[in-house]
Every structure is written in structure tokens, then in C-alpha cells.
Structure 1
Amino acid sequence: MAMGSLSDEDDFNPEINTTPLVDVMLVLLIIFIITIPVMNHAVKLDLPRAASQPNEVKPETISLSIDADGQVFWNGELMNDADLASRIADAAKVTPQPELHLHAARTTQYEKVAQVMSAAQAGGLSKMGFVTETPK
């Protein structure tokens, strides 16, 4: 089937006309050639340099240990319940607030651990972590 002919022949032509495809690809190639140098354009600035370091104050850590008999140790010092409550209240007022690391023996009753956690929360300490031993 020829273009512009008025013949009644219905010839089937299975070939794809690639001329429009080549035209589109050439237009895209020209567009990319023009736009890529614009995307890589950068303005060079001479920025000032500062030599300061952030002043990060790490909070103190309090080691609170509970042995198998239910005795509580504040950084290795034996505490009773009244002294523990006052120490927790004093520690809660410090800025930044210290972290409470709770060490409990394997055979410690859970009730004692829960009482110490409750006292820490009531005293105002919000950062608490449990320290465990890894199996050997």
C-alpha cells in the first residue's frame, strides 16, 4: 500500500515504520544534551568555618543493685527504704537527670524489684534500665 496512491489494492504491510521513532529519539537526545549541563551547574561559595564542638553533658549513671535477700545498694552502698526514697528525690532534681541502672540477682523476688521501680517512678526518675548478665 503506497502512500498517496488511489488504488483499491489492500496490501497488508507488516513492517513497522521506524521513522517517527527515530525522530522522537533524536529530539529526546537533543533535550538531554541541553539539560544535563544545567543540572550540574553549581555556585562555588567560600563559607566560613567554625571550630566549635557541641557541648553534650552525659548524664550520670546510678547503679542500683538488689541482692537475693532483697537488700538495696546505691552505687555499692547499702540503703534502707527511707534513704533510698530521699536519694531518688535528690537525683531527680539534677539536670540532666541521671540514668538508673537496675541490677538484680537471679533469685531476687520480683516484688522487691517492683517496689524499687515504683519508688524510682514516684521519686521522679524517668530513665531506668535493666542490666542483665549474658549466659556463659
Structure 2
Amino acid sequence: MAMNVAGSSGGGRRGRRKPVMAEINVTPMVDVMLVLLIIFMVSAPLLTVGVPLDLPQTQAKSLDQDKTPLQLSVDVNGKVFINDTEVAMTDLVAKLKAITDARGGMDERIFMRADKKADYGTVARVMGQLSGAGFKRLALVTEVEQGQ
């Protein structure tokens, strides 16, 4: 048995090794994503339907969504407005109570707007009067900053 050691080209596959392929095969990933997309598209409408119920009938009032919000404004000069009507500081609580009683009670939210350059003391005095009169749902209205 003679072995050819020097310059042997025999031996099958050892000498002809292919370089490692470094590319990513994205086809299986795309296939999986498409299958998941179809599954979510089919199952999403089923999740939002809800449980069918036979609800009892009552005489309760429906929620009044068309009611305009009650706005309280303080301008640069310290004048106080309810919606668009100017109100003296001494009459503020009485007029707000009358309006909220006519609209359904003191649990109504009051939106308070104040000019950026309005006196802070005036705004604090208005908020103090409202809090002292029992108005607990006061929301301060601001604008979104532009260019940020």
C-alpha cells in the first residue's frame, strides 16, 4: 500500500471547501411576518366585538355630550369672564352656582383659562373662591408649545 503524501489531490472533499456564506436569508422571516399579519388581521375584529347582552331598560337620562363646557377666563387686565360674559369678582361664585345648578349640579368641570401675562394673584384669588365655594373639578387650560 503506497501513499502519495506529497501533492496529493485525492481524498474527496477536503481540498474543495466552499467559503462560508455571510449573507442573511430574509425569505423565511418575511414568510413568518406575512403569516402573523394575516393572523392579526383576522383576529382583531373578533376582539373588539364584545359580549352580546340583553340590557334592561331604564328611565335614566342619557349622557349630555352636546353641552358646551363651562369656561372661566382671566384676561391681562384682571377681568373675569364666564364663557364670554364679564363678571365682577364679587358676583363670581353666585353666578357660577346659578349656572351649575341649572346645568345639573356642582360636579361639573370648570375649564379655567388665564392669559400668560395675567396677574398671578388674581388667578389665585379666583381659584381660591371657587375652591371655597365647593367647586372641586377645576381644570387649567393651556396650549401646546409650538416648535418643540
Normalising by the smaller structure, the TM-score range is 0.5 to 0.7
Shift of 1:96: 6.0
Q: TM-score, normalised by structure 1?
A: 0.55
Cα distance, 1:48–1:107 mapped onto 2, change above 3 Å: closer
Which residue in the other structure is 1:85 paired with? 93
Using the aligned pairs only, state the percent identity: 21
Aligned residue identity for 1:77: T
Cα distance, 1:89–1:123 mapped onto 2, change above 3 Å: farther
Aligned residue identity for 1:56: L
Q: Hey, which bits of structure 1, 4+ residues long, moved more than 6 A?
A: none
Which sections of structure 2, spanning at least 5 residues, go unmatched? 1-51
What CA RMSD, in Å, does the superposition of the two structures yield over aligned residues? 2.8
Which sections of structure 1, spanning at least 5 residues, go unmatched? 1-46
Q: TM-score, normalised by structure 2?
A: 0.51
- Is 2:113 aligned against 1:108? no
Alignment of 1:1-136 (within 5 A): 49-50=54-55, 55-57=62-64, 61-91=69-99, 93=101, 94-95=104-105, 97-136=107-146
Task: Give the aligned length.
Answer: 90
Cα distance, 1:106–1:48 mapped onto 2, change above 3 Å: closer
Larger radius of gyration: 1
